[in-house]
Amino acid sequence: MAKVTPSADGTESFRRSVEWIRDAVLRDEDLVLGLASLREMGPPAEYAVAQALEIREIEILRCSWEFVEVLAESEGVMLGPIFDEVMGEELCQRVRFALLGS
């Protein structure tokens, strides 16, 4: 069995997780950005947002994002810079808004 050597600062596994999230976002980009647009509509779109959050791809992305954030926090890893580097700051903010709201 191969031994896994962690990176010096312990962030490599978090980077891979963020890359997976980025790839999933790009695969379902229209869906994710559509959800962000619905959120921008405010209260009139609350029902549509709630329904969109139940779409399997969105649920997986949202849970993955939240899980990686909680795990990174428990490890003392600053995840924001990794998200910004891997996804780009603008896309990262848009996806975070789509998945998690304000």
Q: What is the domain partition of the chain in residue ranges?
A: 12-100
Nearest to 98, CA basis, from 51, 69, 56, 58 = 58
**Rounded-to-integer distance, Cα 22 and Cα 28, Å:** 10
DSSP state string for 79-99 = -HHHHHHHH-HHHHHHHHHHH
SS3 of residue 101 by DSSP:
coil
Please tell me the predicted confidence (pLDDT) of residue 38: 98
Quick: pLDDT tens for 13-65. Answer: 999 999 999 999 999 999 999 999 999 999 999 999 999 999 999 999 999 99
SS3 of residue 19 by DSSP:
helix
Please tell me the predicted confidence (pLDDT) of residue 11: 84
Please tell me the predicted confidence (pLDDT) of residue 5: 45
- Single pTM value for the model: 0.85
**Residue carrying the six token digits 């997986």:** 60
Over residues 75-97, the mean pLDDT reads: 95
